Chain A
Amino acid sequence: MTGPFATARVEAPEPGVATLELRKLDKKFAGTHALKAVSLSFMPGEVHAIVGENGAGKSTLIKLLTGVYPKTSGSILWQGREVEFSGPQDALVLGINAVHQEVVLCPHLTVAANIFLGDETTRFGLLRKREMTRRAQAILDELGFHLPADAMLSDLTIGQQQLVATARAASRGTRFLVFDEPTGYLTRAETDQLFALIRRLHGQGVTIIYISHRMEEIFQIADRVSVLRDGQLIGTHVVAETNERDLIREMVNRPLDQVHHKEVIPLGDTLLEVRNMSGPGFEDVSLTVRRGEIVGLYGLIGAGRSEFVQCLFGRTRKTAGDVKLKGKAVEFRREADAIDSGIVLLPESRRDQGLCLNLPVGFNLNLPVFHKISTGGLIRSGEEKTRSDKQMRDLRIVAASRNVDALTLSGGNQQKIVIGKWLNHGADLFIFDEPTVGVDVGTKAEIYKLMAILLRNGAGIILISSYLPEVYDLGDTLHVFRKGRLAATFGHRKVDHETILAEAIGT
């Protein structure tokens, strides 16, 4: 083919030779055997999904393949020849690229500048900005991504930024492309665009590794799927010959009845009553939350769901309407007011908003309660320890001790810390903003179970998710946001997915 992908053409691979082959690949960290003698072949032009719980070794495997970590033993063969990676650069020159779960680009540069970062077009040492913008736009159009090449990256949503990262990887002569949880922040339309791209690269003979916790995506896009558990390869299957239940069983080694299991919990008194509330980014929202109820908020990114809960939580000031909590009118000037009244928010981005990553696990778990466990300002250290240990035990947080920094934990365990700190504090209304992004099936089920416990104890939950099956299966009531307003409200599983999606899009 011609056009922007002229450089991306793949030489016809020798038939039968794997693009990348792993032989007894092993990785040990101090004290942890992260990957145990994994042997696996990735064939030219296949979409190979890798599934496993958090901590199963997926991230480690990816980091070994992309040269981020050095291997402990075993070998990596690139088109039949053994290779040694001393850094990511060695993998890049072979055409091994990765699109990571968290966007790693420069927010202050334009989309075009990000796409060509490190590979700029110059004349006499000067940047040819217009030329780069033109080429970047051609690439984006070609990929079917509706994004302006001259926009600042920081003006895009996280989902759109992810597409830019994908375009960047796809435009650099990739032969082996790793997607690590790419759809976590994507809307349905963006996911479709991404899948179209994957199919196309697949057609060009590019090998694609696809890591996702969303089973239906794997069945939609992948040819083969490998299951990792506790650092071991459990099995590799042709996707057409397996099913979701079997894969989940292999991943967790314990049968999960239903992934989105909804317990029937009787509803109690009205906890929260919002009447005609307006604020920055949303207008005229009315809803109620009862004790024992999950109220789901669904909508496309930018539809006003997050803006609404941020305002409810006191981050921004409302411009109109009333909020009643437990029958009393409330007015929050800041987050601390909302927390004191019994509303807590578990934010969307763990890394940016949820955790103090370079501080210990125990510190994070106690952050909201330091005022409760101190006398005259001095922390009662015994209580500090017992409280954090209790949460670590109750939530089964996997960490060497309460003294290790939060950043050393896996995504699922980090999310458990965010939940644990609010269980530690206690509240009436829990707002979960995208609680299961980047979290594996097992942890997901645990999070849902925790929600059920909260509800049984008389709390109410507002659940925001871009993942429709989640709000659909869990929400007792489902509100759909569109363009800053409530577009529709449905009872539990009253209508089908298509109706809800249609309301969100507004067709």
Chain B
Amino acid sequence: MAVAAKPRGRLRFAFLLNLTLLGLLLLMWLVLSVTTDSFMTTNNIVNLLRQASLWAVIAIGQTFVIITGGIDLSVGAVVGLSSTVVALLLKADFPIWAAVGLTLMLGPVIGAFHAFGILKLGLPPFIMTLATLTAFRGIGLLMTNGATISGFPPEFTGFSRLSFLGIPSLFWVVILVAIPSYILLHHSRWGRYIYAVGSNSEAARLSGVHIARTIYLAYILSATLACLAGILTASRIAIGVATTGEGWELQSIASSVIGGTSLFGAVGSITGPLLGSMLLTTINNGANLLNVNPFWQRIITGFLIIAIVFFDQLRRRRKG
């Protein structure tokens, strides 16, 4: 049929989903602050924001990749590897700026390697990043022999405890990541290309879009943000361990998908992973405070993903 079923369908759905998530989040906060004494304490809120921040940073990177129609399973392992690397560099008496800078430069290398494997070797993104997930964990363990590295300069560990204008420094990092990411995804031509590649890479190629560059960009962003999260984690827990960030790849995918990113590509926003990671952290935190067995958090996350993806499918079916 000629005429569209609904004007602005995609915008309205994204907006409604964000609104629903925000409502759900506020509801959970309300319930938790009424039912527990410890939720609405400065300490707990700051703690909540810090954990959410780390997940938000990798979820934003993950979102770029998922919109291209890919997936990055390695982000958790990259968090572990980069926290180990920054720890080793600090122990080797590198100044903090150099240790952080060098560790961040791992991001483009890892991301480029992923894109290379996908584009040149023809591996599916799922396999490519599943392989590096194992490999990076191995490299981290090999470098430290499985040991925990501690004894960082106080300026390094102090950073994650800072607050500015009453907001924890880690949350400021999220803002500093989210704003450029938003501009890149929604207001730059490279953002448009990310959507185009995720929707139909053949049509994009025939329209003169450089597919390879777009894929490289997405995986490099994801890996670099994962490196950043690794450095921040090392600062927060004051140790470097190769096993840090275990399971965070699923947290990041879940945050992104709960926030409305479609695993089929070409659908997603930056606000999505922000709300998604906040929601997952709140569930985690709430379960702790309510003395619920922490394993419930995983179960709830699982069902939440099923519900959200189901609604996404429902919307597609109605449209098709």
Contacts and interface: CB of A to CB of B under 8 A. Distances in A.
Nearest to A57: B1
By DSSP majority rule, is chain A's interface helix, strand, loop, or mixed? mixed
Contact of B202 (A352, A358, A360, A368): A352
B209 interface: yes
A171 B10 CA distance: 41
Interface string A33-70: 01000000000000000000011010110000000000
B196 A367 contact: yes
B202 A408 contact: no
A213 to B, nearest CB: 15
A60 B7 CA distance: 19
B1 A410 contact: yes
Contacts of B207: 339, 367-368, 421
Contacts of A354: 203, 206
Interface in A4-51: 29-32, 34
B252 to A, nearest CB: 23
B208 A353 contact: no
A370 interface: yes
Interface string B237-275: 000000000000000000000000000001100000000
**Band of interface residues on A:** 35 or more
B266 A29 contact: no
B187 A381 contact: yes
A382 B304 CA distance: 38
Interface string B1-30: 111111111110000000000000000000
Interface in A311-369: 335-336, 339-340, 345, 347, 352-360, 363, 366-368
A371 interface: yes
A353 B206 contact: yes
Given A359-B266, A379-B188, A407-B319, A55 B193 contact: no
B188 A405 contact: no
A368 B208 contact: yes
Nearest to B201: A356
Interface residues of B, number: 35
B210 interface: yes
B33 interface: no
Residue from B183, B200, B208 having most chain A Cβ neighbours under 10 A: B208
A409 interface: yes
A421 to B, nearest CB: 7
Interface stretch (A73-81, A112-120, A145-153, A394-402): A394-402
Contacts of A31: 3-7
B157 interface: no
A109 interface: no
Interface string A199-233: 00000000000000000000000000000000000
B4 A399 contact: yes
B154 interface: no
Contacts of A339: 207-208
Contacts of A377: 188-190
Interface string B189-223: 11011011001101111111110000000000000
B189 A358 contact: no
B211 to A, nearest CB: 9
A446 B82 CA distance: 59
Given A345-B206, A378-B183, A381-B187, A408 B266 contact: no
A32 B11 CA distance: 20
A359 B195 contact: yes
Contacts of A55: 1-3
B166 interface: no
A296 B257 CA distance: 48
Given A367-B209, A370-B189, A401 B199 contact: no
Given A335-B208, A336-B208, A374 B188 contact: yes
A34 B190 CA distance: 38
A162 interface: no
A403 interface: yes
Given A352-B202, A356-B196, A358-B267, A30 B6 contact: yes
Contacts of A29: 1, 3, 5
A403 B7 CA distance: 7
A413 interface: yes
A177 to B, nearest CB: 22
Contacts of B209: 336, 367
A505 interface: no
B190 A403 contact: no
B320 interface: yes
Contacts of A355: 200, 203
A136 B89 CA distance: 68
A410 B2 contact: yes
A413 B2 contact: yes
A354 B9 CA distance: 22
Contacts of B266: 356, 358-359
Nearest to B12: A403
A404 interface: yes
Interface of B: 1-11, 183, 187-190, 192-193, 195-196, 199-200, 202-210, 266-267, 319-320
6 closest pairs, A vs B, by CB? A55-B2, A356-B199, A370-B189, A404-B4, A408-B4, A339-B208
Given A340-B208, A400-B6, 18 more contacts: A55-B2, A59-B1, A336-B208, A347-B206, A352-B200, A353-B202, A353-B203, A357-B200, A358-B199, A359-B196, A363-B196, A366-B192, A374-B189, A399-B4, A403-B7, A403-B8, A404-B4, A405-B4
30 contacts: A32-B2, A55-B2, A335-B206, A336-B209, A336-B210, A339-B208, A352-B202, A352-B203, A354-B203, A355-B203, A356-B195, A363-B192, A367-B209, A374-B189, A377-B188, A378-B187, A379-B188, A379-B192, A398-B3, A399-B3, A401-B4, A403-B7, A403-B10, A404-B9, A405-B10, A408-B5, A408-B9, A409-B4, A413-B2, A421-B207
Interface of A: 29-32, 34, 54-55, 57, 59-60, 335-336, 339-340, 345, 347, 352-360, 363, 366-368, 370-371, 374, 377-379, 381, 398-401, 403-405, 407-410, 413, 421
